[in-house]
Amino acid sequence: MTAFAAPIAEQIWDMKYRFKRPDGTPVDQTVEDSWRRVARALAAEENDPHAWEPRFEAALRGFRFLPAGRILAGTGTGRAVTLFNCFVMGTIPDSMEGIFEMLKEAALTMQQGGGIGYDFSTIRPRGALVEGVGADASGPLSFMDVWDAMCRTIMSAGSRRGAMMATMRCDHPDVEDFIAAKRDPARLRNFNLSVLATDPFMEAVKADADWDLVFGGKVFRTVRARDLWDKIMRATYDYAEPGVIFIDRINKLNNLHYCETIAATNPCGEQPLPPYGACLLGSINLARLVRDPFEDDARINLDELNELVATAVRMMDNVVDASRFPLPQQKAEAQAKRRIGLGVTGLADALLMCGLRYGSDEAVARTEEWMKAVERAAYLASVELAKEKGPFPLFDRDAYLAGAHVRTLDEDVREAIARHGIRNSHLTSIAPTGTISLYAGNVSSGIEPVFAYSYKRKVLQKDGTRTEERVEDYAARLWREKFGDRPFPDWFVDAQTLEPAAHVRMQAAAQKYVDSSISKTINCPADISFDAFKEVYLLAYETGCKGCTTYRPNEVTGSVLSVESEAPAARPEVREVEALPADAAPDHPGEVVYLSEPLDRPEALPGQTYKIKWPESEHAIYITINDVIVGGRRRPFEVFINSKNMEHFAWTVGLTRMISAVFRRGGDVSFVVEELKAVFDPRGGAWMNGRYVPSILAAIGGVIERHMIEIGFIEGEGKGLKSDPRAQAVAVGEEPARGAACPRCGQFALRMQEGCLTCMECGHSKCG
> In this predicted model, which residue has the larger pLDDT, 372 or 1?
372
User: Active-site residue among 151, 268, 745, 759?
Assistant: 268
State mean pLDDT over 332-355. 97
Is a pLDDT exceeding 90 seen at residue 189? Answer: no
**What pLDDT, on a 0 to 100 scale, did the predictor assign at position 254?**
98
**What pLDDT, on a 0 to 100 scale, did the predictor assign at position 584?**
27
The answer to whether residues 469 and 285 touch, using CB atoms and an 8 Å cutoff, is: no
Q: Which amino acid does the sequence have at 689? A: N
Q: How many CB atoms lie within 10 A of CB 531?
A: 8
**What pLDDT, on a 0 to 100 scale, did the predictor assign at position 496?**
79
Burial class (CB in 10 A: 0-12, 13-18, 19+), 588: middle
Over the stretch 95-154, which tens digit does the pLDDT of each residue have? 999 999 999 999 888 877 778 999 999 999 999 988 766 678 899 999 999 998 888 777
State mean pLDDT over 617-629. 84
**What pLDDT, on a 0 to 100 scale, did the predictor assign at position 645?**
76
For residue 22, give the 3-state DSSP assignment.
coil
Q: Could you give the CA distance from residue 181 to residue 144 in angstroms, rounded to a whole number?
A: 10
Q: Could you give the CA distance from residue 531 to residue 449 in angstroms, rounded to a whole number?
A: 24
Is a pLDDT exceeding 70 seen at residue 466? Answer: no
User: Active-site residue among 266, 318, 523, 626?
Assistant: 266
Over the stretch 645-678, which tens digit does the pLDDT of each residue have? 777 778 888 888 889 888 887 777 888 888 888 8
- Listed residue (62, 65, 59) closest to 5, CA to CA: 62
pLDDT confidence band for 576 (50 / 70 / 90): very low
**What pLDDT, on a 0 to 100 scale, did the predictor assign at position 463?**
53
pLDDT confidence band for 600 (50 / 70 / 90): low
Is a pLDDT exceeding 90 seen at residue 554? Answer: no
**What pLDDT, on a 0 to 100 scale, did the predictor assign at position 125?**
96
Task: Give CA separation, 489 vs 25, 477, 571, 659, 702, in Å.
Answer: 46, 14, 9, 51, 59
> In this predicted model, which residue has the larger pLDDT, 279 or 727?
279
Q: Give the whole-number percent of the chain exceeding pLDDT 90.
A: 60
**What pLDDT, on a 0 to 100 scale, did the predictor assign at position 744?**
52
Q: Which amino acid does the sequence have at 732? A: V
Residue 270 annotated in active site: yes
pLDDT confidence band for 575 (50 / 70 / 90): very low
- Phi/psi for 329 (5° steps) reads -65, -35
Lowest mean pLDDT among 113-127, 253-267, 448-462, 742-756: 742-756
pLDDT confidence band for 574 (50 / 70 / 90): very low
Q: Could you give the CA distance from residue 11 to residue 568 in angstroms, rounded to a whole number?
A: 33
pLDDT confidence band for 350 (50 / 70 / 90): very high
Lowest mean pLDDT among 144-153, 502-511, 718-727: 718-727
Rounded (5°) CA angle 352-354-356 = 60
The answer to whether residues 471 and 442 touch, using CB atoms and an 8 Å cutoff, is: yes
For residue 171, give the 3-state DSSP assignment.
coil
- Phi/psi for 282 (5° steps) reads -165, 160
Q: How many CB atoms lie within 10 A of CB 387?
A: 15
HEC secondary structure over 241-262: CCEEEEHHHHHHCCCCCCCCCC
**What pLDDT, on a 0 to 100 scale, did the predictor assign at position 766?**
62
Torsion of the alpha carbons at 447, 449, 452 and 454, rounded to the nearest 10:
60
Over the stretch 285-341, which tens digit does the pLDDT of each residue have? 999 999 999 999 999 999 999 999 999 999 999 999 999 999 999 999 999 999 999
The answer to whether residues 440 and 283 touch, using CB atoms and an 8 Å cutoff, is: no
> In this predicted model, which residue has the larger pLDDT, 613 or 550?
550
HEC secondary structure over 301-344: CHHHHHHHHHHHHHHHHHHHHHCECCCHHHHHHHHHHCCCEEEE
**What pLDDT, on a 0 to 100 scale, did the predictor assign at position 26?**
95
Q: How many CB atoms lie within 10 A of CB 414?
A: 16
Q: Could you give the CA distance from residue 107 to residue 161 in angstroms, rounded to a whole number?
A: 12
CA 87 to chain centre: 13
Is a pLDDT exceeding 80 seen at residue 365? Answer: yes
Q: Could you give the CA distance from residue 589 to residue 419 in angstroms, rounded to a whole number?
A: 64
Number of H helices, E strands in the chain: 23, 33
Max mean pLDDT among 345-349, 604-608, 757-761 falls in 345-349
**What pLDDT, on a 0 to 100 scale, did the predictor assign at position 755?**
59
Torsion of the alpha carbons at 547, 551, 552 and 555, rounded to the nearest 10:
130
> In this predicted model, which residue has the larger pLDDT, 177 or 661?
177
Burial class (CB in 10 A: 0-12, 13-18, 19+), 706: middle
User: Active-site residue among 57, 270, 472, 638?
Assistant: 270
Domain extent listing, the chain:
7-82+279-420, 86-265, 607-710
- Phi/psi for 492 (5° steps) reads -80, 75
State mean pLDDT over 170-187. 92
pLDDT confidence band for 571 (50 / 70 / 90): very low
Lowest mean pLDDT among 47-61, 396-410, 585-599, 675-689: 585-599
Lowest mean pLDDT among 95-109, 194-208, 443-457, 570-584: 570-584
Lowest mean pLDDT among 37-41, 277-281, 443-447, 688-692: 688-692
State mean pLDDT over 630-640. 82
Over the stretch 66-94, which tens digit does the pLDDT of each residue have? 999 999 999 999 987 889 988 999 999 99
Burial class (CB in 10 A: 0-12, 13-18, 19+), 316: buried
Over the stretch 112-124, which tens digit does the pLDDT of each residue have? 777 899 999 999 9
Q: What is the DSSP string of 41-98?
A: HHHTTSSSHHHHHHHHHHHHGGG-EEE-HHHHHHTTS--S-B---EEE-PPPPSSHHH
**What pLDDT, on a 0 to 100 scale, did the predictor assign at position 74?**
93
Max mean pLDDT among 285-294, 468-477, 677-686 falls in 285-294
The answer to whether residues 573 and 487 touch, using CB atoms and an 8 Å cutoff, is: no
- Beta-bridge mates of residue 765: 758
Q: Which CATH class is domain 86-265?
A: alpha beta
- Phi/psi for 291 (5° steps) reads -105, 145
Q: Which pairing describes strands 164-169 and 86-88: parallel, antiparallel, or unpaired?
A: unpaired
Q: Could you give the CA distance from residue 714 to residue 721 in angstroms, rounded to a whole number?
A: 9
Q: Could you give the CA distance from residue 251 to residue 261 in angstroms, rounded to a whole number?
A: 7
The answer to whether residues 326 and 111 touch, using CB atoms and an 8 Å cutoff, is: yes
Over the stretch 390-409, which tens digit does the pLDDT of each residue have? 999 999 999 999 999 999 99
pLDDT confidence band for 729 (50 / 70 / 90): very low
Is a pLDDT exceeding 50 seen at residue 589? Answer: no
Alpha helices (H) in 158-301, listed in sequence order = 175-180, 199-207, 225-239, 247-252
